[in-house]
Amino acid sequence: MSTEIDKAELFVTRLLSNPTLLTLNPLQKEEQILSFMEINAKQLLPTLSSDAFFPGLSWTAIRSLLVGKLRELIDESLIPGLQRQLYEKIDFGFISLLRQQSWPQEKSKEAVFNFTKKIIISPEGRNDFSGSYNAISNQIVHKYLNSIFSAHSYIHFELTKVQRLKMNKDEIINMINISLLLKPSIYVFSSSMNKESSSGIITQSFAEKVEASLIKEIPSLPEVLIKSGVRSNLSFRDHKYLQATARLTSIFNTMARSVKADMKVDRGASSPEKSWFSIARKNYKYFGWDIKMLDELYRFSAENNW
C-alpha cells in the first residue's frame, strides 16, 4: 500500500509541476488536475492500471488514491496560505463596531481558521473557496473599495446608507474579506447543496438553517457578518434587501475564481477584469447579481485597465 501511495505522490507531483499551473492558487491547480484526470481517464487508465503503477485496481480506486494524495499535497500549501491571509491580511477589529465584542481577535481568527478547514473538506466547498482565497490573496476587495469610496456612487450609498455600516473603508474591506471566507460555509452543512439552479444560488430557508448553525459554530462572529457571508449565496433578483456586503462578496468570489492573476492580455483584447464585468453584466440574472453594482465595478475596471 505504501508503495502505491508513493507512486500516487510521484504521479501527482509530476502533474502539479506543469508550468501552466504556476500562476494558479492551490485550489485552482487542484481543479485543473481533477478536470484533466476526468477528461483523460480513458487514456490514463491503461498505463495507470499496469504493473508499473497500480495493478489490479479499477479506475475508481485509482482515482480515489490520486485525488486523496492530490488534496493532501494541495493542503500542504493551502492551509499555511490561509493562515497567513487570516492572521496577516485581515483585521478583526471592526467586529466591535458591529456588536459588543468580548472575544479577543486571536480567538475569533482561530475560530474562523478552524471552521475554514472544515469548508475545504468537501469538493464543492474547495471549489467555492478557491474564489474567496484568490480574492483575499490578490487584495481585490481593497482595490475596488478604494474606487468605490472615491466615487461615492451607488455602491458607496448601499454600504453606508442602506446597510448603514458605520465603518471606514478599511473596516468594510475586512468585513467583506471575512464574508468571503464564510461564503462557502453552506457546503459544511449540506453536500447536496440544496441549490435552486446550477448557478450556485441557494434557497432562503436553507440560508437561514446555515446561519443558525454557523452562529452556534462561531459565536465570536456577529450575526450580521455571518449573514453577509451566507446570504451572498442568495439571488439579488429574488431578495431585493440583500446586504450590499453580501452582494459584493458574491461578485468578488466568482470573479476571483475566474480571473487569473498576472494574466498576459493579448493585443486587441480587453483587460481581464473589465472583460469579466462586461460578461457578468449580461449574465446578472442567471447568477443573481446586482446589475447596478456590476455597472459601477465595470466602470472602475475600465478606467483603471484592470
Partner 1 sequence: MQKKIKSFVESIVVMAIFLVLIQTFLEDYSVLAGWSWNFRKILIYSGFGFDLFFSIEFLIRFFSALLNKKGSIYFLEGKGWIDFLASIPLLIFNSGPSFFALITGSGFFFGMGGLLNILKIIKVIRIARILRLLRILKIFRQIKHTGSLMAQRHIAKITTLSITTFVFTLLVFSIFSGLIALPSSEVKFENNQKLSISKFIENKDNTNLSEAAGNFADYESDLLIIKNNGNTIFSRFDNPFYSTVFGPGDYKYFKTSEFEFFFDVRELSQIQAISNIMFFLVVVMSVLVFLVYYSPHFAMTISDPIHVMKRGFLEKDYNLEVEIPELYKNDDIYKLGSLYNEIYLPMKVRETDTGNSHTNLSMDDFEDLFK
**Which among 285, 263, 293 has a CA at the least distance from the CA of 145?**
293
Compute the least distance from the CB of residue 228 to partner 1, in Å: 23
Binding site for partner 1 (CB under 8 A): 11, 14-15, 18, 20-21, 31-36, 38-40, 43, 47, 52-53, 198-200, 258, 260, 265-272, 274-276, 278-279, 282-283, 286-287
DSSP 195: B
For partner 1, the closer CB: 30 or 171: 30
Is 294 within 8 Å of 280 (Cβ atoms)? yes
Compute the least distance from the CB of residue 133 to partner 1, in Å: 17
Compute the least distance from the CB of residue 44 to partner 1, in Å: 8
For partner 1, the closer CB: 14 or 164: 14
Chain centre to alpha carbon of residue 61: 29
For partner 1, the closer CB: 154 or 286: 286
Rg (CA), the chain: 21
Compute the least distance from the CB of residue 222 to partner 1, in Å: 32
Compute the least distance from the CB of residue 56 to partner 1, in Å: 18
Q: How many residues does the chain have?
A: 306
DSSP 192: T
Compute the least distance from the CB of residue 255 to partner 1, in Å: 11
The grid coordinates listed for 100 are: 459588543
Residues 306, 296: Cα–Cα separation, whole Å? 14
For partner 1, the closer CB: 47 or 64: 47
**Which among 183, 285, 187 has a CA at the least distance from the CA of 238?**
285
For partner 1, the closer CB: 56 or 268: 268
Q: What is the DSSP string of 69-101?
A: HHHHHHHHHHHHHHHHIIIII--GGGHHHHS--
**Which among 121, 82, 94, 61 has a CA at the least distance from the CA of 221?**
94
For partner 1, the closer CB: 145 or 259: 259
**Which among 276, 295, 7 has a CA at the least distance from the CA of 148?**
295
